[in-house]
Structure 1
């Protein structure tokens, strides 16, 4: 139990730094409420779960190959540009104030979270920050600790998302449509800035190979 709780705390700490997923999750939480924001988080966690499964089955080394990572930098940049552009273009649309029924589907929010998470930045983070921890705790003769640690980390991320969205939902009750619109525009700009970084990494990776 202590091991599980230790890695729940680690999962919360891992989820705290503000990234593209957090930005998109907060934006959807403000525009459409708790469950839309949570759907973004669940979309991101789907990729997290896949990466943990990859580590468990020994596939992490494939994800670290340059010919796998380089195209993903470009794909991630494209996804973030599209989501960022959509955020700016539709900043004053799909805003649901408390008491109103959301027009946007839960699935579209989940899809955005999934697409944001499908980026080498997210994958490299998982593999480098705690992939080594999970790999070191994995024992083919006793996979129990690995599963406890992995489930603890995912639980921590889930608790972080719920806490963040609870705050977002409470904030949503005291702000107006104009503030939500400008937050959506700001979120779009931030997402596009992440895409510029991804594109830079894509170009630099190609240059390193050529040299």
Structure 2
């Protein structure tokens, strides 16, 4: 593989990563919420946790284990587990919005931010379906065009794209903090909680349809 082909492959993967990460969903909502409430690092760590889960799924494709993960019974379990995760975070956000009136970073649990992001991505069946459909197709295309060594570099490119997106929106949330009052933060936290509860319901309905 030539240097130009390598750069083309990584850029291709990075573009895919940004397109995967950009749509508004539970993870982006949580990154923004934590970034506004707790600062850049907590928002960024939430995104890094999600990136870690996405990278694992990407490696599963590279290793040829996608058929196992596409099993409907496994997807039902993931939908239910994901719904429980979204419900917990959504409920906690709504409860916090009813009492919290200040933005305080002194006790922000950074490790919890990473774990939250990881679990939200790992237990999101829609993200998994994306990887095992679109992701598998992209990997096959890269291997066809650049050879068997292309798949790992494609995964690295995707990871760089997701990381870039996470860094940008975390930075935007950090800059926006100075304009967000305690009352506005309450509203943002409450609305994000309601949206996450909506995703929890969506996951339960999706699991029911697979039964």
1:127 and 1:32 map into 2 onto residues whose CA distance is 34
TM-superposed CA distance for 1:135, in Å, is 3.6
2:102 and 2:46 map into 1 onto residues whose CA distance is 16
CA contact 2:33–2:188 (8 Å) conserved in 1: yes
User: What is the TM-score when the length of structure 2 is the normalising length?
Assistant: 0.89
Give 2:3's aligned residue. none
Give 1:129's aligned residue. 134
TM-superposed CA distance for 1:160, in Å, is 0.6
- State the SS of the aligned residue for 1:102: coil
**Aligned residues, how many?**
202
Give 2:76's aligned residue. 70
- State the SS of the aligned residue for 1:90: helix
Relative distance call for 1:144 and 1:93 in structure 2 (3 A) is farther
RMSD: 1.8
Alignment of 1:181 onto 2:186? yes
Deviations 1:79-103 (A, max 9, x none): 1101111111122449535xxx431
Deviations 1:32-54 (A, max 9, x none): 00000011101111110110111
Alignment of 1:33 onto 2:39? yes
TM-superposed CA distance for 1:186, in Å, is 0.4
- State the SS of the aligned residue for 1:173: helix
Give 1:96's aligned residue. 103
- State the SS of the aligned residue for 2:179: coil
How does 1:1-211 map onto structure 2 within 5 Å?
A: 1-91=7-97, 92-93=99-100, 96=103, 101-117=105-121, 118-138=123-143, 142-206=147-211
2:72 and 2:102 map into 1 onto residues whose CA distance is 41
- State the SS of the aligned residue for 2:180: coil
